[in-house]
Amino acid sequence: MSLISQLPVFRISVQSSEMAVREALQKLLDGLGPLALDVEESGTVELVMAEALNNIVEHAYPPSDPAGPIHITCMHAKDGLHLTVVDHGRGMPDGQTPLGAAANLDVDLCDMPEGGFGWFLIKDLAKDVAYQRVEPENHLTLRLAVAVS
């Protein structure tokens, strides 16, 4: 993997909260400014990272636990953006990410799913999704095939 020099590696840190997700996404998109992503690419980045960060706010730092830090590291390489998200909250159940299967929509209106789309979107849009519990941290890494050369 060879680095492209035009965008240096950058890091964003926020304290877990719903509004912090918006702040982190804005900082991430601002940091990617030099790449001049088109709306399709920036939409992919924002969507995948929104889902990853929302999951942390909701499950790693549930309301019953104190809030904690979320660190995002972004590196641009020839095959796209390599993103690492680290938090100090609760680990994934069973030590792995949910499968992220597509929801079954062939159901009556009253049974239509209102959730469970997050991991589906992450796994559909991102490549090389990997999760590791490194006590006391969660490490999620993924690649987004945008701004590839």
Q: Shortest approach of another protein to residue 53 CB, angstroms?
A: 9
Residue 138 C-beta-side C-alpha neighbours within 13 Å: 26
Q: Shortest approach of another protein to residue 48 CB, angstroms?
A: 10
Among 35, 121, 129, 145, binds another protein (CB under 8 A): 121
Instruction: Give yes or no for a cis peptide into 136 (omega within 30° of 0).
Output: yes
Phi and psi, residue 53, nearest 5°:
-75, -40
Contacts 24+ apart (CB under 8 A), 37-41: 37/146, 37/147, 41/146, 41/147
Among 1, 36, 39, 99, binds another protein (CB under 8 A): 39
Binding stretches for another protein (CB under 8 A): 18-19, 21-22, 39-40, 43-44, 46-47, 50-51, 54, 57-58, 102-103, 105, 109-110, 112-118, 120-121, 124-125
